[in-house]
């Protein structure tokens, strides 16, 4: 499989503190790539650089053959971002949120509406589409957050901790959606703190700690590093690689 | 450019929808200023001459003659605010504090005009009451002005009949004295009371347009925190479109406030736009533009929602009194008037006062409009230079 995203030696500092340090990895076409790491490891900062929001101090990113630095407009047409926060307007309905972001991404009004209805159906929110998002449950809000990222028909989707604080039903719904999207040809970069979630979803995983990518591979490859892949959990791998000391 | 306009417009329309859904923001922008304007118009209205206690007293020692005519005209209706008193009663009433002062026409008032000598109207007030003295002086001067023109006509008659000549120079002087506001309104029929809303409304309007725009910085900081701005950027929205859209949304709100409060002022408080209503509107619009740039600049300078609201409250409550929103600038000492020049509020208020209270024309406030435009450009430059879409978490 070809590499859809190639990140080489990404480095970023804030106020003299290095937050991302020479991070290199790739996301292949039609794969779910998990970026794991403790709090403050630099995952969100990495996604910001990959999604053209933040300029890296050093390093190079290519997405779909385009340079993020030089051809950001072309890159922006290929990506969708679901931020860690609920990046939406709680006072607006789900439909209005989707239509707004769709139109801001360049869709004409009619097309944005049609696409919003289609995506809301997909994330199971058609019944409540007209209600203000403020009134939704946590799981429903998370699903809207993802739905908005799909409005621009991305080929690469960034999901930054998309399942924080929601019940197993909503979580499973999101898993199914993400797996289906991949099967339709989308590439996904997924960050999470839940190891069993990564184990279940991700084709390949990169583990970040203090800004460095310290391990890369399939879940089975990573487990094999410390023991028998059938009895070892990803959490054990994670703790053995990143240590047990508290972060933040 | 087309992309910028499309994105900025879409963004500003979305913000406007959110504004109408936000009851607090709506109330703050529209109802709060009304409360302030009503309260302070009532409070300040008490010192205006429309108050019953500030009726003016006139008395004459002549049996008949010019002073009789003048007093008859002045007291023809209740609304003129002038009462005639017997000279002795007036003196007593002043002594006992029942009236603050009065005008007295001397016994030879008419005779002296006819004989061409200078004559006088006495302004009699209690010691240490400059306000009443000012009001009565104004009335006396406007009567003098009228008698001046009247006497010219009389002079023609008397000369023909060889009865004597008038002192033209003296009369000319009396006639040239600037008529008071009172006299001006008296001329058109009935006396208009001094309307305190003419300066409380522009003051609080300016304060609240800026205040609401500054609080808009909070919403921008919130969007930074919830990562919607990031999401927009990753969607291909330009940073300049975000700044432009935010400023536009703030401008719509400001224009809505202006429209709402000016209309209210005209219909509920009978405020007077002066001789150049268009200039008042132009000053208002430039003030709103400066305020929206100010709001976006604040948003660019702060990180969090909390610091945005503190900055909004702090700047608004400092700039408003400095800029003459709480009391008219023209009653403040020179150094305060100079300080006011450092604020957009000061330029706006000075322009409003000139236009609405002192009969200035549009061209007299061009400088003010230019200053407001300069403020807008400066604020916007800082906003564009410092605007961040990403917040530290
Ligand atoms: N704009 C910024 N300015 C200053 N420091 C920042 C900024 N953004 C992030 N940081 C710091 O960089 C470090 C990495 O942050 P980042 O959000 O990338 O970590 P993360 O892996 O996403 O963590 P989490 O799992 O908690 O989401 C943190 O210490 C954070 O405080
Ligand atoms: Mg993060």
**pLDDT tens profile B340-359:** 999 999 999 999 999 998 88
Of A44, A89, A105, the CB nearest to B236: A105
Task: Report yes or no: B227 at the A interface, CB cutoff 8 Å.
Answer: yes
Task: Report yes or no: A61 at the B interface, CB cutoff 8 Å.
Answer: no
- Taking the CA of residue A193 as reference, the ligand 1 atom at the shortest distance is 25
Q: Alpha helices of chain B — where are they, by DSSP H?
A: 2-21, 23-26, 32-45, 66-74, 87-95, 109-114, 130-160, 168-176, 181-187, 197-225, 228-234, 239-269, 277-301, 305-322, 334-340, 344-357, 366-386
Residue at B305 is within a domain: yes
pLDDT band at residue B339 under the 50/70/90 scheme: very high
Instruction: Report the domain count for chain B.
Output: 2
Residue at B255 is within a domain: yes
Tokens linked to A60: 């190079």
Ligand nearest to the CA of A247: 1
User: If you average pLDDT over residues B358-387, what whole number do you get?
Assistant: 94
pLDDT of A45 strictly over 50: yes
Q: Tell me the pLDDT tens digit for each residue of A161-204.
A: 999 989 999 999 999 999 999 999 999 999 998 888 999 999 99
Radius of gyration of chain A (CA): 18
User: If you average pLDDT over residues A234-247, what whole number do you get?
Assistant: 84
The residue ranking higher by pLDDT, A198 or B390, is A198
Tokens linked to B343: 């604020």
pLDDT of B180 strictly over 80: no
Cβ atoms of B362 and B279 within 8 Å: the answer is: yes
Mark whether B205 and B347 lie in a shared domain. yes
Would the CB atoms of B231 and A148 count as touching at under 8 Å? yes
Spacing, Cα A190 to ligand 1 middle (Å): 17
Q: Tell me the pLDDT tens digit for each residue of B254-287.
A: 999 999 999 999 998 888 888 899 999 999 999 9
User: If you average pLDDT over residues B201-218, what whole number do you get?
Assistant: 94
pLDDT band at residue B388 under the 50/70/90 scheme: confident
User: If you average pLDDT over residues A29-34, what whole number do you get?
Assistant: 97
Spacing, Cα B154 to ligand 1 middle (Å): 92
Of A79, A85, A100, the CB nearest to B226: A85
Mark whether B25 and B70 lie in a shared domain. no
Which of B162, B187, B212 is a domain's end point? Answer: B187
Write down the pLDDT at residue B16: 94
Mark whether B31 and B83 lie in a shared domain. no
End-to-end CA distance of chain A: 37
Q: Quote the percentage of chain A above a pLDDT of 70.
A: 100
Q: Tell me the pLDDT tens digit for each residue of A46-56.
A: 999 999 999 99
Mark whether B202 and B305 lie in a shared domain. yes
pLDDT band at residue B147 under the 50/70/90 scheme: low
Q: Tell me the pLDDT tens digit for each residue of B84-142.
A: 899 888 888 888 878 888 888 888 888 877 776 777 788 887 776 677 777 777 777 77
Task: Report yes or no: A128 at the B interface, CB cutoff 8 Å.
Answer: no
Residue at B393 is within a domain: no
Write down the pLDDT at residue A148: 97
Would the CB atoms of B230 and A105 count as touching at under 8 Å? no
Mark whether B233 and B274 lie in a shared domain. yes
**Which of A80, A86, A89 is the best mutation test for B, with the most CBs of B within 10 A?**
A89
Residue at B69 is within a domain: yes
**Chain-centroid distance, C-alpha A237:** 21
Residue at B280 is within a domain: yes
Mark whether B208 and B331 lie in a shared domain. yes
Would the CB atoms of A104 and B226 count as touching at under 8 Å? no
Which residues make Cβ contacts (< 8 Å) with residue B57, sequence separation at least 6?
B82, B83, B84, B85, B90, B93, B99, B101, B102, B103
A148 CB neighbours in chain B (<8 A) are 231
Owning domain of residue B328: 2-46+195-386
Spacing, Cα B342 to ligand 1 middle (Å): 40
Task: Report yes or no: A14 at the B interface, CB cutoff 8 Å.
Answer: yes
Residue of the CA atom closest to atom 2 of ligand 1: B392
For residue B2, count CB atoms less than 10 angstroms from its CB and return exposed for 0-12, middle for 13-18, buried for 19 or more.
exposed
pLDDT of B73 strictly over 90: no
Q: Residue B189 has what DSSP assignment?
A: S
Mark whether B341 and B313 lie in a shared domain. yes
CATH code of the domain covering residue B125: 3.40.1710
Write down the pLDDT at residue B324: 92
Task: Report yes or no: B240 at the A interface, CB cutoff 8 Å.
Answer: no
Closest CA to A197 of A163, A231, A237: A163
Would the CB atoms of B236 and A73 count as touching at under 8 Å? yes
CB under 6 Å to ligand 1: residues?
A 14, 19, 37, 39-45, 84; B 390, 392-393
Task: Report yes or no: B304 at the A interface, CB cutoff 8 Å.
Answer: no
pLDDT of B202 strictly over 50: yes
Mark whether B65 and B41 lie in a shared domain. no
Write down the pLDDT at residue B51: 43
Residue at B38 is within a domain: yes
Spacing, Cα A41 to ligand 2 middle (Å): 8
Domains of chain A in sequence order? 1-78+186-248 (3.40.50.300)
Q: Alpha helices of B235-275 — where are they, by DSSP H?
A: 239-269
Mark whether B258 and B294 lie in a shared domain. yes
pLDDT band at residue B161 under the 50/70/90 scheme: very low
Closest CA to B308 of B204, B230, B388, B207: B388
| Arithmetic mean of pLDDT over chain B | 81
Cross-strand bridge partners of residue B122 = B104
Write down the pLDDT at residue B82: 81
> How close A27 gets to chain B, by Cα (Å)?
18
Which of B129, B164, B187 is a domain's end point? Answer: B187
Mark whether B183 and B246 lie in a shared domain. no
Residue at B281 is within a domain: yes
Task: Report yes or no: A134 at the B interface, CB cutoff 8 Å.
Answer: no
Which of B159, B187, B215 is a domain's end point? Answer: B187
Tokens linked to A234: 């990803």
| Arithmetic mean of pLDDT over chain A | 94
Spacing, Cα A144 to ligand 2 middle (Å): 19
Residue at B392 is within a domain: no
Rounded distance, CA A187 to CA A2, Å?
11
pLDDT of A120 strictly over 60: yes
Mark whether B23 and B77 lie in a shared domain. no
pLDDT band at residue B190 under the 50/70/90 scheme: very low
pLDDT of B48 strictly over 80: no
> How close B320 gets to chain A, by Cα (Å)?
32
Write down the pLDDT at residue B80: 66
Mark whether B122 and B244 lie in a shared domain. no
């Amino acid at each position: 499989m070809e590499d859809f995203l190639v990140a080489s030696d990404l480095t970023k500092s804030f106020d003299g503190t290095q937050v991302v340090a020479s991070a290199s990895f790739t996301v292949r076409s039609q794969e779910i790539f998990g970026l794991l790491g403790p709090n403050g490891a630099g995952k969100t900062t990495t996604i910001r650089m990959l999604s053209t929001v933040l300029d890296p101090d050093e390093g190079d990113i290519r997405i779909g053959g385009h340079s993020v630095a030089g051809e950001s407009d072309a890159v922006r047409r290929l990506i969708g971002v679901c931020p860690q926060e609920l990046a939406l307007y709680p006072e607006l309905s789900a439909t209005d949120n989707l239509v707004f972001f769709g139109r801001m991404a360049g869709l004409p009004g009619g097309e944005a509406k049609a696409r919003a209805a289609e995506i809301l159906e997909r994330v199971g929110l058609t019944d409540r589409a007209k209600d203000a998002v403020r009134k939704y449950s946590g799981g429903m809000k998370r699903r809207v957050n993802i739905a908005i990222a799909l409005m621009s028909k991305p080929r690469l989707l960034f999901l930054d901790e998309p399942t924080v604080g929601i019940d197993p039903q909503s979580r499973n719904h999101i898993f199914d959606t993400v797996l289906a999207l991949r099967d339709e040809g989308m590439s996904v970069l997924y960050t999470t703190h839940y190891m069993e979630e990564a184990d279940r979803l991700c084709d390949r995983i990169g583990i970040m700690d203090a800004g460095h990518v310290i391990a890369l591979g399939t879940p089975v490859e990573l487990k094999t590093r410390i023991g028998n892949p059938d009895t070892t959990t990803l959490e054990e791998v994670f703790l053995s690689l990143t240590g047990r000391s508290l972060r933040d | 450019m087309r992309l910028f306009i499309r994105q900025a417009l879409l963004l500003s329309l979305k913000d406007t929808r959110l504004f109408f859904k936000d009851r607090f923001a709506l109330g703050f922008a529209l109802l709060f200023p009304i409360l302030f304007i009503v309260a302070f118009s009532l409070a300040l209205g008490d010192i205006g001459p429309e108050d019953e206690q500030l009726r003016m007293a006139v008395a004459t020692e002549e049996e008949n003659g010019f002073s009789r005519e003048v007093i008859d005209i002045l007291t023809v209706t209740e609304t003129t605010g002038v009462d005639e008193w017997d000279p002795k009663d007036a003196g007593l009433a002043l002594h006992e504090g029942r009236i603050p002062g009065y005008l007295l026409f001397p016994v030879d008032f008419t005779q002296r005009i006819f004989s061409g000598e200078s004559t006088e109207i006495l302004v009699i007030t209690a010691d240490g009451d400059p306000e009443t003295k000012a009001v009565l002086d104004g009335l006396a001067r406007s009567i003098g002005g009228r008698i001046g023109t009247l006497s010219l006509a009389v002079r023609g008659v008397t000369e023909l009949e060889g009865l004597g000549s008038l002192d033209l120079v003296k009369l000319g002087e009396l006639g040239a004295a600037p008529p008071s506001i009172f006299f001006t309104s008296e001329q058109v029929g009935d006396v208009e009371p001094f309307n305190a809303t003419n300066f409380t409304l522009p003051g609080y309007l300016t304060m609240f347009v800026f205040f609401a725009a500054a609080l808009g910085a909070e919403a921008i900081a919130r969007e930074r925190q919830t990562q919607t701005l990031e999401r927009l950027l990753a969607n291909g929205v330009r940073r300049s479109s975000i700044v432009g859209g935010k400023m536009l949304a703030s401008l719509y709100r400001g224009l809505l406030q202006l429209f709402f409060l000016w209309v209210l002022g005209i219909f509920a408080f009978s405020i007077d736009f002066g001789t150049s209503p268009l200039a008042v509107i132009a000053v208002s619009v430039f003030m709103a533009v400066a305020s929206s740039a100010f709001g976006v600049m604040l948003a660019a300078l702060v990180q969090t929602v909390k610091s945005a609201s503190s900055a909004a409250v702090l700047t608004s409550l400092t700039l408003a009194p400095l800029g003459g929103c709480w009391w008219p600038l023209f009653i403040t000492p020179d150094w305060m008037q100079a300080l006011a020049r450092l604020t957009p509020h000061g330029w706006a208020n000075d322009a409003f006062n000139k236009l609405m209270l002192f009969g200035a024309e549009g061209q007299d406030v061009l400088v003010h409009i230019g200053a407001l435009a300069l403020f807008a450009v400066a604020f916007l430059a800082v906003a564009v230079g410092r605007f961040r879409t990403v917040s530290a978490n």
